[in-house]
Amino acid sequence: MTRHGKNSTASAVYSYSERKKDSRQSGYGTLKERLGADSVKPFDCCCLTLQPCKNPMVTPDGYIFEKEAILQYIVDQKKELKRQNDAFEKFVKMEEERKEKAEQETEEERKRKFVAMESTPTHVFAYGESVSKKRKSTNANAGPSNKKDKYDEESLSNMAGDKAKKWNSFWVPELQSTAEVSKMEKPPQKVTNPVTGKPLKFKDMMPVIFTPIDEDAAKTNLIYSMKERYKCPVTGDILTNSSRCAYIKTSQKIVSWNCVEKIIKKDMIDPLTNKKLTDSDVIELQRGGTGFSSTNQTEGKLARPQMELA
């Protein structure tokens, strides 16, 4: 393709570059964006605050949270779930009352029709009037009279009879007579993980102890400004976003995955506490941002309306 090939508009073919350009400008089609390493948090940072953790806690899935942040999140979620459940219970109660009222109105209508049928056994009209009554009303209304028909008055006025108790507004869609009742889905009953959406309990979370590289910097806040902060307490390997890490429940330490495969899995004994381990005692941590698709989700998508080409 020549230098100005993308600017050519005289071609008979709808090129790939033109399709991409029109897709960005028109608002149609799924947008895709390549994410870099800076789009994913480091492995030792909180999933909520995206900052280095001072009191880290880990979930059974390997996600690290700041203790204060996750506690505040759980409290806020419980308040929100309580509010949603109260609104749902109120909605269910209103639905039951509406159904009971509809059943009562249906039953009253059936009774009214039954009484009208029994009172005038021959030639019943829609409003329960016999032929003689219909003729009398027709003759009475034939001459000049200022008396209004009761049925016409009720049908025209929106403040007569049962219509006076109903709120009708042209500007509010919910108050229209043809408006459907909006349905409310049952809210979740448990607090969920903000990353995975799975149920989350604070009692299932475990404290984490990182081994700092510089002990003097760990006593101050200087360690949080360092790019490489922690190491494996067994092998001494520096822990970075590109290295696989594991959490040991018995010692609450973070070790490298090489330590797990070469040392721990041989005897299934914690090298720091000499306690017996099981497979559930070793939790692999979620890795930080590296910019490689084999490690992280490096493509972001935004679903938009699709434009079909003839």
195 part of a folded domain: yes
| Averaged pLDDT score across all residues of the chain | 80
Residues 73 and 86 in one domain: yes
| Rounded Cα distance, 285 and 124, in Å | 81
Using an 8 Å Cβ cutoff, are 65 and 200 in contact? no
User: Of 113-117, 132-136, 158-162, 251-255, which gets the smallest average pLDDT?
Assistant: 132-136
Domain with 75, as residue range(s), is 45-113+187-207
Q: Which residues, including other chains, have CB under 8 Å from residue 141's CB and lie 6 or more apart?
A: 149
| Rounded Cα distance, 88 and 186, in Å | 7
Q: What is the 8-class DSSP label of residue 174? A: G
CATH number at residue 289: 3.30.40.10
Question: What confidence tier does 183 reach under pLDDT thresholds 50, 70, 90?
Answer: confident
Model pTM greater than 0.75? no
Residues 299 and 192 in one domain: no
| Residue 156 clears pLDDT 70, i.e. is over it | no
- Report the pLDDT averaged over residues 199-208: 93
191 part of a folded domain: yes
| Residue 267 clears pLDDT 80, i.e. is over it | yes
Within 10 angstroms of residue 63's Cβ, the number of other Cβ atoms is 22
Backbone torsions φ then ψ of 136, nearest 5 degrees: -60, -45
